[in-house]
Homo-oligomer: A and B are copies of this chain.
Amino acid sequence: VRRIALRVAYDGTDFAGWQVQRDERTVQGVLEASLSEVCKERINLVASGRTDSGVHARGQVCHFDAADTGPPGEKFSRALNRVLPPDVRVMDSAAVGDAFHARYAARMREYRYYLLEGRCADPFERPYCYLRASLPPVELLNRFASPLVGTHDFTSFAAEKDENESKHRSIASCAFYPEGPYTVLRILGNSFLWKMVRTIVGTILELGGSGATPRDLENILHARDRKAAGATAPARGLFLYRVYYDEKPFT
């Protein structure tokens, strides 16, 4: 038996999220079916974390254990891409040590959220961003983003159904920047609560459009109450961009 890590990109549009669900098309379900075909044995995948229905990934990382027969670690990407549907691609694959664990060894997760200002997004942009008639300037958005950096209780920004025992999370970086026609939030943290990034985006957009001050954002954080925060921004603007490990699984 050996352990293989995969870096996976997927267009979340037509998936009911990462995690296997009966009667739903999920990324884990599609990948496990392709892996079982390639490995000729039943394979269970472990990911760095789940992504919700409609959320995209450029750098989801997952691992599995397989018999020593079958392709060498670095050949899995090509073998899998031959059988996978076009909205999931394995960008990298590698044999890793037994100590590697896609979820528990992950030190940091990076998400990006894409915003677009305008009345109409073209069909190439539309599935991958949140279109708003107007957007506050980047400098103003960043005045609301910076108080989130650090270790805080993020109860206000978690879905009410979030079942994590501790709601404390450490945000290493949280900033908006312009990228082509988009305004993008790049957020890095040790881990995230359910719907946390999308609630942060929705809340900052509301504050930025209403003449609020960064103090209002701090008050929302301190309220520890989901009702204090703003709407959850749509899934289609969110990308799981990268997962960081102390020992890089891919060269």
**Interface residue total, chain A, C-beta cutoff 8 A:** 23
Partner of A58, one of B56, B78, B122: B122
Q: Flag whether A44 is at the interface (Cβ < 8 A).
A: no
Contact A123 B86 (CB under 8 A): yes
Number of identical monomers bound together in the oligomeric complex: 2
Which of B77, B86, B91, B120 contacts A77 (CB under 8 A)? B120
Q: Is A161 an interface residue (CB 8 A)?
A: no
Contact residues of A: prevailing secondary structure: mixed
> Looking at the complex, which of A61-69, A100-108, A124-132, A184-192 is the stretch in contact with chain B?
A124-132
Contact of A127 among B56, B86, B121, B126 (CB under 8 A): B86
**A11 / chain B contacts, CB cutoff of 8 Å:** 123-124
Q: Mark A49-93, 1 if CB is under 8 A from B, else 0.
A: 000000010100000000000000000011001000011111100
A106-123 CB mask vs B (1 if < 8 Å, else 0) is: 000000000000011111
Minimum distance in angstroms from A114 CB to a CB of chain B: 11
CB distance from A11 to the nearest CB of B (A): 4
